[in-house]
């Protein structure tokens, strides 16, 4: 069982406590006592709010799950949208507004984030989202030692097709193990196959 250390009435894992005190704070001019005191203020302020938000999320998810079970054989987009509005998951569009936050990191303020949520009713959007995540996996594998350099698969130049093929093979093996097709293998699938599956799931 992990050891806990009391810091400003917070129970902090010993590893996290040591990381903050001995590796993160040195050189910042912030003392350990000051950090944990202010961190405790943030935790005590936001913990009740987070618990409330999690309970709201659970309530909404329970209602949405029940609706899908009741309407699995007669899905209507308009009725679904009305239901989401009724339970407060969706709200009517409000008036235009402008915000001007200060001291916000560029990663939050001006850098576009990854596309994580798309309407399943639009097959093209769904396929684009899948491809965005798939591209990220390929990029991560290509530059990682998960893929061996053997057999001419070194990370050399702008692109090594031998290594690229190893990445594709690894990725399709992953799909076969994680989300196997009813018939055949992901190794045999083409872009048209995935597009067709996305369209079928959206109807």
DSSP states along 131-180: HHHHHHHHHHHHTSTTS--TTT----SS--HHHHHHHHHHHHHHHHHHS-
Domains of the chain, residue spans: 4-97, 123-202
Name the fold adopted by 123-202: Malate synthase G - maily-beta sub-domain (2.170.170)
Largest pairwise CA distance in the chain: 62
What pLDDT score was predicted for residue 201? 59
Q: What is the pTM of this model?
A: 0.47
pLDDT at residue 69, as a whole number:
94
The partner residues of 7 in beta bridges, in order of sequence, read 10
The rounded distance, in Å, linking the Cα atoms of 115 and 32 is 38
Q: What is the pLDDT of residue 195?
A: 64
Amino acid 202: pLDDT? 53
What per-residue confidence (pLDDT) applies to 154? 92
> How high is the pLDDT of residue 116?
60
Q: Which residue has the tokens 């055949």?
A: 184
pLDDT at 158: 83
How many CB atoms are closer than 10 A to CB 141?
19
pLDDT at 79: 94
- The low-confidence residues of the chain, meaning pLDDT below 50, are none
What is the C-alpha to C-alpha distance for residues 178 and 185, in angstroms, rounded to an integer?
12
DSSP percent split of the chain into helix, strand, coil, nearest 5: 60, 5, 40
pLDDT at 129: 72
């Amino acid at each position: 069982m992990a050891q806990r250390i009391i810091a400003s009435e917070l129970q902090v894992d010993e590893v996290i406590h040591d990381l903050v005190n001995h590796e993160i704070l040195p050189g910042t001019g912030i003392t350990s006592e000051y950090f944990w005191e202010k961190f405790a203020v943030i935790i005590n302020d936001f913990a009740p709010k987070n618990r409330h938000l999690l309970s709201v999320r659970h309530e909404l998810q329970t209602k949405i799950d029940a609706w899908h079970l009741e309407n699995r054989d007669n899905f209507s987009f308009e009725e679904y949208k009305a239901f989401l509005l009724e339970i407060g998951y969706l709200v009517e569009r409000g008036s235009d507004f402008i915000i001007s936050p200060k001291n916000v990191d560029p990663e939050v303020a001006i850098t576009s984030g990854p596309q994580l949520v798309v309407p399943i009713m639009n097959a093209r959007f769904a396929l684009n989202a899948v491809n965005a995540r798939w591209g990220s996996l390929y990029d991560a594998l290509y530059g990682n030692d998960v893929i061996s350099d053997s057999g001419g698969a070194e990370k050399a130049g702008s692109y090594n097709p031998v290594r690229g093929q190893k990445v594709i093979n690894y990725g399709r093996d992953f799909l076969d193990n994680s989300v196997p097709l009813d018939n055949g293998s992901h190794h045999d699938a083409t872009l048209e196959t995935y597009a067709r599956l996305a369209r079928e799931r959206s109807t």
